[in-house]
Chains A and B, each alone.
Chain A
Amino acid sequence: MAGFLVRRLLNYGVLVVLAASLAYLLAAATLRPRAEFAERSPRPPAAVVDAQLTALNLNDKTPLARRYATWASGVLHGDLGRTLNGDPVAPELLRRALVSVRLLLVGTVLGGVLGVLAGAYAAVRQYRPSDRLITVGSFVVLSTPVFVLAVLLQLGAERVNQATGVRIFEWVGEYTPGHGAGPLARLGGRLQHLVLPTLAIVLTQVAVVSRYQRHLMLDVLGADYVRTAMARGLTRRRALLRHGLRTALAPVTTYFAYTFGFVLLGAMFTEKIFGWHGMGGWLIDSVHRGDVNAVAAVNLLAAVLVLLAGLAADAAHGLLDPRVRTGR
């Protein structure tokens, strides 16, 4: 297992390098940071712009290969370059990533768990009203793009706020600047801001995962080993829970790996709409500004994360399913 993981890690490593390099090359070849400098008022002299761009390794007069070499050797030494403002990218990336993590962690985990439970429950109650409700609900959520869902949630929250006369929900940013004095009030404020975006992520996640889990669980409902468990003296419910769900859980891990990229993408929308200054929002702003190094850094991190998720899924699958561990 260990030797195998190492080889897979290597394979992933090659893919990360390729993906990150391609992202840099693409961004460097097509984005126009020069415009950002040249169009400042008062209009700076060309030589100054050139010097500034060269200092940031963004000068389009430098051959692309040379810029790439500079960037790549920097990355190898842990230096991700500088943003257009001249700040180092790495600390900013870290700060942004932490914001994203705060937003994503609760939503994804909660959504995954709830999704598995909802899917399994729906499968067991196949064609009864509760199953129909879950199936139709996830169907409608899946058909609603995140940016529509988020706005709908905001509209709903606004209604609640108006009806109660208290600002229960907040949806702009991570916290209200200058709000609350004590640490407790600050924490409360942050939680208030967390509710809506988390809800948006949870809903999508539940919709996706529950559909998949329902499908897996339906395959298991008629499985011979569930019948055997019942023959041993377990009730249907316990047999399904202890043997059916346990077996149907393993393939979901693979699914998480597949969808992790989409989760990141969805998060980007969510961040942007709810005004969180996370990784996704940064990427979009940076593309608009032509900030090559920031774009490349976000892509690098995203590639690493996607592949790490794949690796984690492999490991989890092996942990949950002994057949994967030992073969056959």
Chain B
Amino acid sequence: MTTTFREPPVGMPSRGADLARRVLADRRAVLGLALLGALFLLAFAGPHLAKWHWTDTDFAAMREPPSAGHWFGTTQSGRDVYALTLRGMQKSLLIGICAAVLSTGLAALVGTVAGYAGGWADRALMWGTDLLLVLPAFLVVAVLSPAFRAAWPLLVLLLAAFMWMVTARMVRQMTISLKRREFVLAARYLGVGPARIVVRHILPHLGSLLIIDGTLNVSVAIIAESGLSYFGFGVQPPDSSLGTLIAEGTGAATTFPWLFGFAAGLLVLIVLAVNLVGDGLRDALDPAAKGGDR
């Protein structure tokens, strides 16, 4: 007999509408979404506003500070920093989102299969997961980096391959505990088959975890990509990513701040926006994670 107070019994709108309402009620999520929207717009619509393409070289302007002609200035070889930065943003956003979706999907697959099947399948999958955790991910990506010149999707695959393990363990753990929950037991003993139980009773309960994880993975992937590119192991020249731009600008950060500042600032903004959305989603979708009343 504890003094807990449940919400009063009132008619409820559908789950989806309710979810949207809760997410939109979270100030951080809204702020993050708006910011992210603006950044997307800038990355994909922005290049059409300026006359310089990222491959162009303006021999008349080398290492020029921002001006009406070159909004973000130019590099020492006369390339337009604005165009380069937006190109880098496109790459970073694309790689980040693809890698996150892939890795979360993989985590969901491995986690539910291992958790629900149990036994040998579980042990084998988890051993593989542990192995990937100790594998030198950095080295694998680094030595394969020359191949990215031809195919950046390979970088996405590699990033995803090294990001899913912790989530898979979480999904597995949740699947196991869901499997023991009484409503799943009840369904089982009512005669409902395993595939149907996973789809109808288990996946809906993992939904919010996966959405949150997927979102936060976007920022992890973006940071990982730009970090690798920073050291020359990610996106390869002549293509550019925010990481490569920052690496080029670092040495001259004090004397030619535009080379460093725009790329770095936009990178931080992207990650911040994604994290805001992720955190907001976590609070909106997973009341247990909040840990306290508001």
Contact = CB atoms under 8 A, between A and B. Distances in A.
Interface in B129-145: 130-131, 134-136, 138-140, 142-144
20 contacts: A26-B140, A27-B139, A126-B292, A127-B294, A139-B272, A143-B271, A144-B268, A145-B226, A147-B227, A147-B250, A148-B264, A151-B246, A155-B253, A155-B254, A218-B290, A221-B291, A258-B166, A269-B230, A283-B138, A307-B134
A287 B254 contact: no
Interface residues of A, number: 47
Interface string A23-64: 100110011000000000000000000000000000000000
B136 A23 contact: yes
Interface in A283-307: 283-284, 287-288, 295, 299, 302-303, 306-307
A16 interface: yes
Contacts, number: 100
Given A31-B143, A151-B260, A299-B139, 7 more contacts: A15-B134, A26-B139, A140-B272, A145-B267, A147-B227, A303-B136, A307-B134
A307 B166 CA distance: 16
A158 B271 contact: no
Contacts of A16: 134
B275 interface: yes
Interface in B261-279: 264, 267-268, 271-272, 275, 279
A316 interface: no
Interface of A: 15-16, 18-19, 22-23, 26-27, 30-31, 126-127, 139-140, 142-148, 151-152, 154-155, 158, 215, 218-219, 221-222, 258, 265, 268-269, 272-273, 283-284, 287-288, 295, 299, 302-303, 306-307
B232 interface: yes
Q: Is the interface of B mostly helix, strand, loop or mixed?
A: helix
A205 to B, nearest CB: 16
B136 A302 contact: yes
A218 B291 contact: yes
B44 interface: no
Nearest to B130: A15
